[in-house]
Amino acid sequence: MAAVSVRNLRVALGGQPVIEALDLEVADGEFLVLLGPSGCGKSTLLNAMAGLLEVSGGSIEIDGVDQTWASPRDRNIGMVFQSYALYPNMSVANNLSFGLRARGMPRAQVEERVQRAAALLQLEPLLARKPAQLSGGQRQRVAIGRALVRDARVFLLDEPLSNLDANLRASLRRELKLLHQRLGATMIYVTHDQVEALTLASRIAVLHKGRIQQLGTPAEVYARPANRFVAGFMGSPPMNFLEGTLTMNGGVPHFTAPGCEFELRDCDFGAAAPMAGEAVVLGVRPEQLRIAAPAAWSGVVTLVEPMGNHQVVWLECGGASWSVLAGSDARHQRGERLPLALATGSICLFRADDGTLRGVTA
Amino acid sequence: MKAARPPRWYADPARLGLAALAVSAAAFFLLPLYVMAITSLKPMEEIRLGHLFSWPTQLTLDAWHAAWISACTGVACDGVRGGFWNSVSIVLPSTLIAITLGALNGYALAYWRARGAALLFGLLMIGAFIPVQVLMFPLVRMLGPLHLVGSLAGIVLVHVIFSMPIMTLIFRNHFAALPRELFLAARLDGAGFLRIFVLLMLPLSVPMLVVAAIMQATGVWNDYILGLVFAGREHLPMTVQLNNLVNTTTGTKLYNVDMAATLLTSLVPLAIYVISGRWFVRGIAAGAVRG
Ligand SMILES: Nc1ncnc2c1ncn2[C@@H]1O[C@H](COP(=O)(O)OP(=O)(O)O)[C@@H](O)[C@H]1O
Ligand SMILES: [Mg+2]
């Protein structure tokens, strides 16, 4: 039984459709990440699941019960808001217990639940403080605690780490993953950060323009992106693209672009056999390239970004801007022409017209 | 090279000009107050000499005493103290009820998107700009049969009605400026309309409540026309009694008593301004800028 299942969901805001015909099944205990750029409708989808927004069509089931029109308080959902939304006039303890008291839980039980959540999140020394007296990371913990105390089966988290600095973000990310392993609850986690998505998710749903572009494990989404949008959104620096055509050379498909031609070995084209002259876009991840001969391509260095343990070298390659990873001790000058060889991994081909995946090499 | 320290502020001629303007403006507004104050402290013989600005040669509180206890306001001759207590008993309920209802309305309009909320808000906006005088006669005709004209309940009701557009407006804008996610979080926590209002929204609105109370209390205290029409003889507010006192001439006109009664009447709003100046400025800004 799915913990959450969304069918044919439509949401309109201010007369504008934001989510159109969206289907999503989240398994019990799963950590599903909704990944997408800002403004793609992630918060809208989450708010619709929580019942904070009226949907204009479709259905939402939680724990097997149709909750499409249920009030938010009856959905047994814990939610962490992007801005935390801690009640500024209440102490941390009261922030945690507000929802329990609102449901008329006996005082002793409220006390016990608050203590348990506080212990789990190391909030005990902070219980008497007001939110204004907390650091960003502590506020985040309180927000998670507030969702936790109600023992909800499903947690919705809306970019919970986006307001924190990089170090804190990384450490809270790990805490969150441990928490999920400990609780075994279903978590639906919204983010625009692909690193968070890759590290946390059991499955990732990539959202763009109110539609799910791809739903799969982090490895699948990374290695076999369903279309150019997903390919470009996942990975940092993003995938390199080059426009060209398919050619057949001795019965073997080749990718051809001005100044470069190479063989697509063991390429899986799916049902439709490759045809000479098909317009395609080649996609190669930066880490799949090496600066070495024999060169499959070459490019002129435009920029070098040192990253500490490695460098990102940006090149001008047949009219496109490409990036390639180099060791931290490599010395490359602007204007230098470098040979590029294919190192490892599969190369993607996308249809030039609609950007969907055409084939992947082995 | 070390940069030169910028000149100190008092050396700046523009600042001096500004200070001069402030001082002269203050003098312009304080002069009448000064004349009133010293006149109220002079005996009549000294006033008859006609030296308007001169400091009293013999200071006396007789006029203040008379204004409070024994000056004639029409037929009765027991000063403005009755009016003072009438005004207090009008101001307190009018203020409490108006800000409670205004906050509740504003909260409902800002968060609970009822059907027709936009229309209601539009009507309130228009209502805030309709002059009181236009509505007076219809209101008398409406409240008359309900025996509400000439009673404390009647005048309080009228004050509450007339303040409702501006109070609702102020609070709606205040609540609309709070982060909406707070409200959503409380809803998800299972809190209902009143629990969210009392436990979350009101504590977050203390500054706004103070401002609204100041605006309403001064407005009601300073009201004359509504008190005259709706309060009835038993509950005439201080402003109406003051008018009667000044216009009742039996024999010589007692300027010192008039001045003392006027100062007594303006003491309450004056005290509110002085004590809560900081809040009041904020209130003006809230009314003028937001919205
Ligand atoms: N109240 C609203 N009225 C109209 N459009 C809105 C409203 N709220 C959000 N939107 C639009 O809906 C889209 C999705 O918003 P949101 O779900 O907040 O995006 P995300 O959380 O992915 O950044 C955005 O394009 C935004 O402009
Ligand atoms: Mg968002």
Whether CATH 2.40.50.140 fits A240-361: yes
* pLDDT tens readout for residues A265-294: 888 888 888 888 899 999 999 999 888 887
* Contact between chains at A50 and B188 (C-beta distance less than 8 A): yes
Tokens standing for residue A132: 């204004």
Residue from B180, B188, B196, B209 to probe the interface with A (highest A Cβ count within 10 Å): B188
Residues lower than pLDDT 70 in chain B: 1, 7-11, 249-250, 279-291
* pLDDT tens readout for residues A203-258: 999 999 989 999 999 999 999 999 999 999 998 899 999 999 999 888 888 888 88
Which residues belong to CATH 2.40.50.140 in chain A?
Answer: 240-361
Non-local CB neighbours of B68 within 8 Å, separated by 6+ positions: B79, B80, B81, B260, B264
Among residues A328, A330, A303, A332, which one has the least CA distance to residue A316? A303
Predicted confidence at residue B74, as pLDDT, reads 77
| CB neighbour class for A149 (10 Å; exposed up to 12, middle 13-18, buried from 19) | buried
Predicted confidence at residue B9, as pLDDT, reads 61
Predicted confidence at residue B29, as pLDDT, reads 87
The pLDDT of A109-122, averaged and rounded, is 94
Residues of chain B with Cβ-Cβ distance to A47 below 8 Å are: 184
Q: How high does pLDDT run on average in chain A?
A: 91
- pTM summary value: 0.84
Which residues belong to CATH 3.40.50.300 in chain A?
Answer: 4-233
- Give percent above pLDDT 70 in chain A: 99
Domains defined along chain B, listed by start: 9-60 (no CATH), 81-285 (1.10.3720.10)
Whose CA is closest to atom 17 on ligand 1?
Answer: A41
* pLDDT tens readout for residues A10-38: 999 988 999 999 999 999 999 999 999 99
Percent helix, percent strand, percent coil in chain A, to nearest 5: 25, 40, 35
Please give the distance, rounded to the nearest whole angstrom, from the Cα atom of residue A292 to the centre of ligand 2. 43
| Complex-level ipTM beyond the 0.90 threshold | no
Atom of ligand 1 nearest to the CA of A36: 22
Atom of ligand 1 nearest to the CA of A42: 22
Instruction: State which fold the A4-233 domain adopts.
Output: Rossmann fold (3.40.50)
What's the rounded Cα separation, in Å, for the pair A343 and A209?
A: 34
What's the rounded Cα separation, in Å, for the pair A219 and A204?
A: 10
What's the rounded Cα separation, in Å, for the pair B73 and B32?
A: 24
Among residues B70, B72, B42, B75, which one has the least CA distance to residue B56? B42
Question: Are A198 and A214 spatial neighbours (Cβ–Cβ below 8 Å)?
Answer: no
Ligand 1 pocket test: pick from A13, A54, A207 the residue with the most ligand atoms within 8 Å of its Cβ: A13
The pLDDT of A116-139, averaged and rounded, is 93
Predicted confidence at residue B285, as pLDDT, reads 58
Tokens standing for residue A338: 């470098």
